Amino acid sequence: MLANIRGTSIYFDVDGVGLRLEGPKQIERPTAFLVHGGPGIDHTSGKARYERLREKMQLVYFDHRGQGRSGRGDPARYTLDENVEDMEALRRHLGLERIVSMGTSYGGMVAMAHAARYPQSVSHLILIATCSHHGFIPAAAKIVRERGTAEQIAQFEDVRAGRIDSPEKMRQYFTVMGPLYTRVHDPGLSVAALEKAILSPEALNRALGPEGFLTRFDLRPELGRIRAPALILAGRHDWICPPEFALEMQRLIAGSDLRIFEESAHSIAGDEPQQLLDAVAGFLVYQAAPSGTAARAAT
């Protein structure tokens, strides 16, 4: 489905019902936005990882502008700020009140910025394997030099130089870097997932190439504005968003909870999938949303 908002078309898909029948009553369930990572990928990998959460809430997946099945438009607008505004516009387009906001990696950056700028729009915030400022790039470069192969080091340098300029090169990047992203790496599954994904190198380069917006972004001054209960999840062995960045976010987001997954790298959903789902479900049940919210966690 397409939402024509803010001069582009945002593709979204809905999984699960908004109303659940319980005896004679219709119970309204919370709606969650699942914000995908990248930039340069689409929402489809999240469906296999998070589909079981539809037992707790209605799930809305969407592709950022310039990525996946969303409209391309002006590449100069492939930025975090635009993605935040698109997310808020989609919430309004769908007629939703407060949403559960769940962002992974780059999606976590979008989700935390959205929760800071539109605190009245978010009932719960879940940040998975993400960072709040550009310091993650030199940190990741250092880790790749320490842990990576010569080919992995070269691939990361190609990203920073803007040389990953085709879907084929993006597939090669993820194939080579796969063992760093997950500790439970299955090359066959990785190739199959990449074949299904729509890859958008222009969005990747606008973010991480020379002068890319992620090379200078810093959300730390905004994090104090977040009012929703927040859960921060990090992988102990994450090479691109190391856990020290999660500790920093916990200090800056008042009342936030942090869990570090000891057996996970960047892909917690791949390394410890059941533990991740249990952490999210428990947070939704036991963390009360701000007063007045229409999105209440279903037990």
Read off the pTM.
0.92
pLDDT for the residue numbered 12: 97
pLDDT for the residue numbered 184: 84
Query: Does some domain include residue 274?
Result: yes
Query: What string of H, E and C letters represents the secondary structure of the chain?
Result: CEEEECCEEEEEEEECCCEEEECCEEEECCEEEEECCCCCCCCHHHHHHHHHHHHCCEEEEECCCCCCCCCCCCHHHCCHHHHHHHHHHHHHHCCCCCEEEEEECHHHHHHHHHHHHCHHHEEEEEEECCCCECCHHHHHHHHHHHHCCHHHHHHHHHHHHCCCCCHHHHHHHHHHHHHHHCCCCCHHHHHHHHHHCCCCHHHHHHHHCCCCHHHCCECHHHHHHCCCCEEEEEECCCCCCCHHHHHHHHHHCCCCEEEEECCCCCCHHHHCHHHHHHHHHHHHHHCCCCCCCCCCCCC
pLDDT for the residue numbered 250: 98
| Exposure on the CB side of residue 167, measured as CA atoms within 13 A | 11
Q: Which domain holds residue 128?
A: 2-135+220-286
Answer positive or negative: Cα dihedral of 118, 119, 123, 126: positive
| Exposure on the CB side of residue 192, measured as CA atoms within 13 A | 6
Query: Does some domain include residue 229?
Result: yes
CATH of the domain at 25: 3.40.50.1820
pLDDT for the residue numbered 252: 98
pLDDT for the residue numbered 26: 67
Cα–Cα nearest to 33, from 73, 93, 81:
93
CA-to-CA distance for 140 and 105, rounded, in angstroms?
13
pLDDT for the residue numbered 290: 52
* pLDDT tens, position by position, 150-173: 999 999 999 999 999 999 999 999
CA-to-CA distance for 249 and 252, rounded, in angstroms?
5
Counted residue by residue, the chain has a size of 299
Kindly tell me the burial class for residue 255, based on how many C-beta atoms sit within 10 Å of its own C-beta (0-12, 13-18, 19 or more): exposed
* pLDDT tens, position by position, 230-245: 999 999 999 999 999 9
Query: Does some domain include residue 176?
Result: no
pLDDT for the residue numbered 194: 77
Query: Does some domain include residue 151?
Result: no
Within 10 angstroms of residue 93's Cβ, the number of other Cβ atoms is: 15
pLDDT for the residue numbered 4: 96
Query: Does some domain include residue 44?
Result: yes
Within 10 angstroms of residue 193's Cβ, the number of other Cβ atoms is: 17
* Spans of the chain, pLDDT less than 70: 19, 21-23, 26, 188-191, 288-299
CA-to-CA distance for 132 and 130, rounded, in angstroms?
7
State how many domains the chain has.
1
CA-to-CA distance for 280 and 232, rounded, in angstroms?
10
- CA distances from residue 232 to 39, 91, 104, 213, 272 in whole angstroms, order as listed: 20, 22, 10, 23, 15
Query: Does some domain include residue 46?
Result: yes
Q: Give the chain's largest Cα–Cα span.
A: 63
Structure tokens at 50: 């998070």
Cα–Cα nearest to 9, from 61, 75, 63:
63
Query: Does some domain include residue 273?
Result: yes
Query: Does some domain include residue 41?
Result: yes
